[in-house]
């Protein structure tokens, strides 16, 4: 793939020190520090998956250009990088950012199968109208991460 400004041919999985923000992680991950997590990943050749709306998947931050990588080093101790073709070959792909009204409607009508739900993230940016934020979500905007996921 040709390099394009602001894009990368690689995906980064960042490893943070401290307790995960969700209880859906395995106990051994919750108890370990960033270095121990990195060593575990390298030894087992696996990144533990986490729950996302009831489905197990593995998150990646997508297309981290240098400026984004540098910013992430303030929060994360370590990073493992993979090529996009490698992640795609493991059934991974970019997440879909969906408007909150569409997200809720699809959720209630159960329009998507579980293989699709693992890739959907509600998108409610700061400029979302107030009535939508009150009805659906407060600000939810991770679009700058350009995340990819690998489903279970």
Residue 1 included in any domain: no
What's the count of helices (H) and strands (E) in the chain, helices before strands?
Answer: 7, 8
Domain presence at residue 4: no
Task: Say which residues have a Cβ less than 8 Å from residue 109's Cβ, sequence separation at least 6.
Answer: none
**Secondary structure class of 113 (helix, strand, coil):** coil
pLDDT band of residue 25 (cuts 50, 70, 90) is very low
In three-state secondary structure terms, 150 is strand
What's the angle, vertex CA 74, arms to CA 70 and CA 77, rounded to 5?
Answer: 95
In a domain? residue 5: no
Q: What is the CA radius of gyration of the chain?
A: 16
Average pLDDT over residues 124-138: 85
Q: What is the pTM of this model?
A: 0.74
Predicted confidence at residue 37, as pLDDT, reads 85
Domain containing 95 equals 10-151
Mean pLDDT, rounded, for 85-106:
89
Is the predicted pLDDT of residue 87 greater than 70, yes or no? yes
Query: Does 102 map to a domain?
Result: yes
Please tell me the total count of domains within the chain.
1
Residue 30 lies in a domain: yes
What percent of the chain clears pLDDT 70, i.e. is strictly above it? 76
77, 37 contact by CB (below 8 A): no
Q: What is the pLDDT of residues 27-64, one digit of tens each?
A: 555 667 888 888 988 998 887 766 655 545 566 666 66
Selected residue with higher pLDDT from 25 and 101? 101
């Amino acid at each position: 793939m040709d390099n394009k400004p602001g894009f990368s041919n690689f995906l980064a999985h960042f490893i943070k020190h401290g307790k995960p923000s969700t209880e859906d992680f395995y106990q051994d991950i919750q108890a370990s520090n960033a270095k121990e997590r990195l060593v575990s990943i390298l030894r087992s050749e696996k990144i533990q998956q986490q729950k996302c709306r009831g489905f197990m998947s593995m998150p990646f931050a997508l297309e981290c250009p240098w400026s984004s990588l540098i910013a992430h080093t303030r929060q994360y101790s370590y990073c493992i990088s993979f090529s996009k073709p490698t992640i795609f070959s493991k059934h991974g792909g970019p997440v879909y950012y969906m408007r909150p009204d569409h997200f809720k409607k699809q959720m209630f009508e159960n329009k998507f199968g579980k293989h699709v739900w693992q890739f959907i993230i509600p998108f409610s940016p700061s400029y979302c109208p107030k009535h939508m934020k009150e009805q659906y979500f407060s600000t939810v905007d991770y679009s700058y991460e350009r995340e990819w996921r690998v489903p279970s």
